[in-house]
Amino acid sequence: MTAQISIGPARFGGFVWGVLTWLIGSIPAAAQQVPVVEVELTNGMRLLMVERRDEPSVAGGWVAHVGSANERPGMTGLTHLFEHMMFKGTRTIGTLDPARDLEIIAEQERIREQMRQEESKLRAAWRRGEIDDWRKPEHRTPRLRELEAAFQKLVEEQRRLLVKNEFDRIYTAAGASGMNAFTTEDFTAYFITLPANKLELWMWMESERLRQPVLREFYAEREVVSEERRLRIESTPLGRFEEAFNALFWQAHPYHWPVIGWPSDIAAISKAQADEFYATYYIPENVTLVLVGDLQTNRAIALAQKYFGRIPRGNRTPPEVLTEEIPPVAERRMYAEVEANPQVRVAWLTVPFAHRDSYALELLSELLSHRTGRLYKGLVLGRQIATQVSATQNSQKWAGNFVISAEARSPHHPEEVEKAIYEELERLKNERVPPEELQKVKNNFAAAEYRRLTSNFSILVQLLVYDGLGDWREINASGAKYQQVSAEDLQRVACKYFTKEARVVGIFTRKADVASTSSSSTP
């Protein structure tokens, strides 16, 4: 059940995901629905609420409809960096002297702009081949060294004024837990769980960091993100290769670059860019609040209007992502020597979130994956040429792909596993899935989705994700759509999307095994 009401200036409006037909019998449709109430505040911000009295707590969060796909070359990674900055506090949280704090930040920016001009000269010298690496300390100009020293003095002064992690400490003292956030290609979500009687604190805290965030330690946090990138991507066995595979797959679409950003972009992002980014995307019309738990709807609406309603509307509508992926015309292949077990990855261009074919493709991934799936039975248990295998349909906001990954069992080669994957897919194209196998997949899928409705936090995350992808109503609507998928639908989407021209293949071999690895062609 859903309700949608708008709030006028002087009055307030009043007032699961999944079908378990085989596992627990027939359930009336109304009993399966998450009772979401949707409200629009006077400034255009939306609020989703689900009342659940199971425990005296509330899972609260909000989603900004901006992800790395909204970036552009030269500023990749800004969305993720901004997520970090949103925990730095406000004009009243995070500093001992708000006025001087803002003065220091302004002075830092003045010096940083001069530093960027000096760095631009070094990059020009590097492009001419006059220096080998413009980042090396020995190449810094005297003027740049002088500016760096002045900037460092301001950093040290600001540190003496900082109240570290005050945002988190206020919440923790109030009994809240799990404060965190995550960034994807399509959206950025923030969340926390708190006692039900601290709902007004949440309203004030979250509205304050949206209304007047202060991006303290901006350049220090930029280095933190660079280090995060080194740990997660550059220092892992497959990180850089997975990144290269993703860039090979997406030719035109902004999904081409990683969420964390390219190294040179992270190092060059300015606070001015972050300020413009905030003014464009972190506006009421582009944010949705979500509350799940022990709350009273009318009181929550009143509090939301009181605190979040203070935030003025944006000056312009955030631009839509317009670049579409180029229709594939030929298979692309990538070969890499890695410090990991030999494996293969195959990806096909498919469809975005809530596309009519996405439900059949999701069921296909379930049919192929896990220990009861066709790929595991055929490649791991049957032929014993692989040690593990997975299949995933990634339906993102603007586009999607279907990815199959498998690890080869010695002495078999990744190309042999790849060929076996195609043979399993040909079966799907040529033979309809038996009714009992399809129903089993539907039941397993529905059971897993139903289990996600057992806690405030899991419902919160689903609403954040679905709203970030484009429509929170999928939490109630998708279950029936999965159940309506037929064997003919599975066969149709397999033929439509699993083509040679649409696939990108990654072959990963151990460096020591390269000499003996087969280079035989695949169909």
Residue 488, number of CB atoms within 10 A of its CB: 11
Record: fold of 41-94+164-315: Cytochrome Bc1 Complex; Chain A, domain 1 (3.30.830)
Which pLDDT band holds residue 517 (cuts at 50, 70, 90)? very low
Q: Does residue 518 carry a pLDDT above 80?
A: no
63's enclosing H/E stretch is strand 57-64
**Is the pTM here over 0.75, yes or no?**
yes
Of 42, 158, 58, 28, the closest CA to residue 103 belongs to: 158
- Across residues 341-347, what is the average pLDDT? 97
Tokens for 322?
């317009």
The pLDDT tens digits for 140-150 are: 999 999 999 99
Report the C-alpha gap between 374 and 381 in whole angstroms.
10
CA 280, 281, 282, 284 dihedral sign is positive
The pLDDT tens digits for 167-209 are: 999 999 999 999 999 999 999 999 999 999 999 999 999 999 9
User: Which pLDDT score is estimated for 245?
Assistant: 97
User: Which pLDDT score is estimated for 455?
Assistant: 92
User: Which pLDDT score is estimated for 6?
Assistant: 31
Rounded alpha-carbon distances, angstroms, from residue 363 to 354, 393, 494: 14, 9, 11
CA 207, 208, 212, 217 dihedral sign is negative
**DSSP letters spanning 363-423:** HHHHHHSSTTSHHIIIIIIIS--EEEEEEEEEE-SS-EEEEEEEEEPTT--HHHHHHHHHH
Alpha carbon dihedral 469, 473, 476, 479, in 10-degree steps, equals -50
The percent of residues in the chain predicted with pLDDT above 90, rounded, is 87
Of 428, 354, 355, the closest CA to residue 391 belongs to: 428
The pLDDT tens digits for 85-121 are: 999 999 999 999 999 999 999 999 999 999 999 999 9
Report the C-alpha gap between 64 and 67 in whole angstroms.
8
Tokens for 311?
């935030």
Tokens for 330?
């030929």
CA 376, 379, 383, 385 dihedral sign is negative
Which pLDDT band holds residue 13 (cuts at 50, 70, 90)? very low
The pLDDT tens digits for 411-442 are: 999 999 999 999 999 999 999 999 999 999 99
The pLDDT tens digits for 473-513 are: 999 999 999 999 999 999 999 999 999 999 999 999 998 65
Q: Residue written as tokens 């999928």?
A: 474
Q: Does residue 4 carry a pLDDT above 70?
A: no
Cβ(440)–Cβ(509) below 8 Å: no
Cβ(352)–Cβ(397) below 8 Å: yes
Tell me the CATH number of domain 332-516, given options 3.40.1280.10, 3.40.50.150, 3.30.830.10, 3.40.50.300.
Answer: 3.30.830.10
User: Which pLDDT score is estimated for 452?
Assistant: 83
User: Which pLDDT score is estimated for 234?
Assistant: 93
Cβ(349)–Cβ(399) below 8 Å: yes
- Across residues 280-306, what is the average pLDDT? 97
For the chain, give the mean pLDDT: 90
Report the C-alpha gap between 42 and 308 in whole angstroms.
10
